[in-house]
Amino acid sequence: MVKLRKFVSYRKLKRPYTRTSKFKAKAYIRMTPNVKVVRFDGGGPSNNFECTLNLLSKSDLQIRDNALESARQTSNKLLESYLGLNGFHIKIKVYPYHVLREHALAAGAGADRFSSGMAHAFGKPAGIAARVKKGQTIFQVNVNKQNIEIAKQALKRASKKLPCSCAIQIVEKK
């Protein structure tokens, strides 16, 4: 298993390097890592609430699946403790499908001989991330009007776990 690397190396949203080879076995990623997000939906049924709160991204970037899961856990814990299991509905609106790859370079004496000529090293799968555009909804929480402040607080806590600055949008159903 590859050690978890700092996310600064994966944060930018650019077109990933795609390897094309005359050998079929080398032209695709062999393995996709498991998604660490346990649930994408939580709480009660979503159709009987008056307000919807959205957590929007303020920049284009990639968000790793373990960041999404930790954000979900913190917000879910706060909502469950104040509103109960059926007092809210939370949904993760992005899916981590982009495979992050890492080319582990050799370290130590004589390592310079191994790491030459690796401008576009394809690498081994190290993790998985969701690609998020500016203004895209990351989390959605449905609550009743009297519970808006608790839902806002839960989304603020979730935004602290994400590698981007976020905005909260409130939509009332009529």
Domain ranges of the chain: 30-100+123-172
* Average pLDDT, integer, range 73-89: 95
Percent of the chain with pLDDT over 90: 57
3-state secondary structure of 68: helix
For residues 29 and 50, the model is more confident at 50
pTM: 0.84
Give 103's contacts (C-beta < 8 A, 6+ positions apart): 118, 121, 122, 123, 124
Window from 29-38, 105-114, 150-159 with minimum mean pLDDT: 105-114
24 is written with which tokens?
Answer: 């079929």
Q: Which tens digits make up the pLDDT trace of 130-172? A: 999 999 999 999 999 999 999 999 999 999 999 999 999 999 9
Give the pLDDT score at 118. Answer: 57
Give the pLDDT score at 27. Answer: 75
Mean pLDDT of the chain: 86
Does pLDDT of 119 surpass 90? no
Distance in angstroms (rounded) separating the CA atoms of residues 96 and 63: 8
Distance in angstroms (rounded) separating the CA atoms of residues 135 and 59: 7
Q: Which tens digits make up the pLDDT trace of 61-70? A: 999 999 999 9
- Residue 18 confidence class, pLDDT cut points 50, 70, 90: confident
Q: Please, what CATH class does the domain formed by 30-100+123-172 belong to?
A: alpha beta
